[in-house]
Chain A
């Protein structure tokens, strides 16, 4: 058995352990065995079925989506430093989501339609920014990453201002829930969200895994990819649409959970090399694991209260990104 196979199996086991732990631990500690033999109290049953399980599944879905979308965008932009949050995609999704949260009630839609409107709006916001950034990067020459990140700063400022403007007209309660949501929060996960997030994560993961070789060819440049029979236009548009959909849905439901899309693919590349056929599925696995781990920390560290999960991922991801920048100093100059 090769070293990377061993790592993959350990990773699988780790994710499994994290999944079971995330079902067990929290403000109320559950015993899974009592639940399965049917001896649990009504409260325990409720906590398990309506809070824990959807939350853990949502964690898997979101972690997988953010990591896989990060890896795909890095492939498309040919740069390992691209992250949805940095280039403004997340902020675009947030601004659209805030618009719907604040003014969506005017449309008086049913619960399910209202639930769908939020991810759709966030998708449009994410799509708008991705498309703009992609067009910008296509016309850019050598200093692509500097341009991308500066454009991200501008986009973040514009949509941040827009969000602030909308919040100015919101109630105090909406404001408080927004603050929590803006930092990323899995605590409100419900089955409707799981029913959207999980299939979406599986669909995007499947598409990207199948087209991983095309992403590899794209790393040689659009010209060389075309020589190798890759329909560059088509795959670029698919990646932009799918990542906007994935990031949009994740942001709409659970807020901006930063740096997962950056940290996870990078760690995977360090261990497994550059081939996307490996990076994409392993990133999905590690992303799911990392998010469940961060969620466990977020809900256990200040019991009985909770931290927003985005604080945990940013506290890990921020320093990691700085370290990455220092490593890449030469390339950026």
Chain B
């Protein structure tokens, strides 16, 4: 369980996060939503242990997050960054195997997990290619595979997986498949935490929400609690309209300006 108590972060005069209180359970899919500059990435950087300049308290499984070593962090969480640097001509598989770097794993365990991940993401073909010559979506899948490998090999089971805009570059089909797979992982106890821009993708797969605006939490909690026109309109600074669709478990939300112009 992750708990934040009165977490704030100022850089110079600029307030990036203001008194954030939140809890993020395991075995759930948490979506962090908000506009550009709302503090989503800042919050994620604090959660992943990169940014330690915050004030307030951050407990990771009851431990003070600031006391965790680099290795502790690597065993407790894996992170998919928003951008992927590629400076050398590694093959996809070599990059994926970097996920095993923090741990000692037998070749058997390693290949078992590699097989499971590459099947789930459908990347058998691109694993042999150089990462300099694959498409954006393929690169995203390779890095996601690396992150999953780290999570699967972690000695602290089940760990958290932080994803900064995981749907980036993925086509619709891949988005559905991958989010479905992530959802299944939450049933095994993994804590999935993702910054997501597409509210309807989030509404469909996430079951826990943190709505951010101007560095503060608008609302957090379950779908029923957070997914309403009022909260979302406030979060996105744009009137949102709820649309119920037949046969769909979750509501859809459409920005009203878009509705008006299309009619």
Give me the interface of A with B, judged by CB distance under 8 Å. Answer: 75, 78-80, 213-214, 216-217, 219-221, 223-224, 226-231, 269, 273-275
B86: min CB distance to chain A, Å: 8
Residues of B within 8 A of A (CB): 48-50, 70-71, 73-75, 78-79, 81, 84-91, 94-95, 98-99, 101-102, 150
18 inter-chain pairs at a CB distance below 8 angstroms, sorted by A residue, are A214-B101, A216-B98, A216-B101, A219-B85, A219-B86, A220-B84, A220-B98, A224-B79, A228-B99, A228-B150, A229-B73, A229-B75, A231-B70, A269-B88, A273-B89, A273-B90, A274-B88, A275-B94
Tell me whether A223 and B102 are in contact (CB under 8 A): no
Alpha-carbon separation in the docked complex, A75 to B79 (Å): 22
Q: Are B70 and A226 in contact, CB atoms less than 8 angstroms apart? A: yes
Whether the Cβ atoms of B89 and A220 lie closer than 8 Å is no
Instruction: Select which of A79, A214, A223 is within 8 A of B87 by beta carbon.
Output: A79
Q: What residues of chain B lie closer than 8 Å to A274, measured between beta carbons?
A: 88-90, 94
Q: Beyond A219-B87, A223-B81, A229-B101: 9 further Cβ-contacts under 8 Å?
A: A78-B88, A80-B88, A213-B101, A220-B86, A223-B50, A227-B73, A228-B98, A228-B101, A273-B90
When chains A and B are docked, how far (Å) is the Cα of A216 from the Cα of B79? 17
Contacts of A228 in B (CB 8 A): 74, 98-99, 101-102, 150
Residues on the B chain within 8 Å of A275, using CB: 90, 94
**A-B Cβ contacts below 8 A, count:** 74
* Shortest beta-carbon distance from A208 to chain B in Å: 15
Greatest chain A CB density within 10 A among B73, B88, B95 is at B88
Q: Which residues of A contact B98 (CB under 8 A)?
A: 213, 216-217, 220, 228
Residues of chain A with a CB closer than 8 A to B48's CB: 227
A219→B90 contact, CB < 8 A: yes
Query: Which residues of B are found within 8 Å of A223, using beta-carbon distances?
Result: 50, 81
Cα A269 to Cα B87 with chains together (Å): 13
Tell me the nearest residue of chain B to A218, going by C-beta.
B87
Question: How far, in Å, is B135 (CB) from chain A's closest CB?
Answer: 17
Give Cα A79–Cα B86 distance, bound, in whole angstroms: 10
A221 touches B70 (CB 8 A): no
* Residue in B50, B86, B89, B150 whose CB lies within 8 Å of A226: B50
Question: Which residues of B have CB within 8 Å of A78?
Answer: 85, 87-88
Q: B81 and A273: CB pair below 8 A?
A: no
Residues of chain B within 8 A (CB-CB) of A230 are 70, 101
Residues of A within 8 A of B102 (CB): 228-229
CA distance A226 to B68 in the complex (A): 13
A275 CA to B98 CA, complexed, in Å: 10
Residues of A within 8 Å of B49, CB to CB, are 226
A331–chain B nearest beta-carbon distance, Å: 10
Partner of A227, one of B74, B91, B95: B74
How many angstroms from the CA of A219 to the CA of B78 in the assembled complex?
Answer: 17
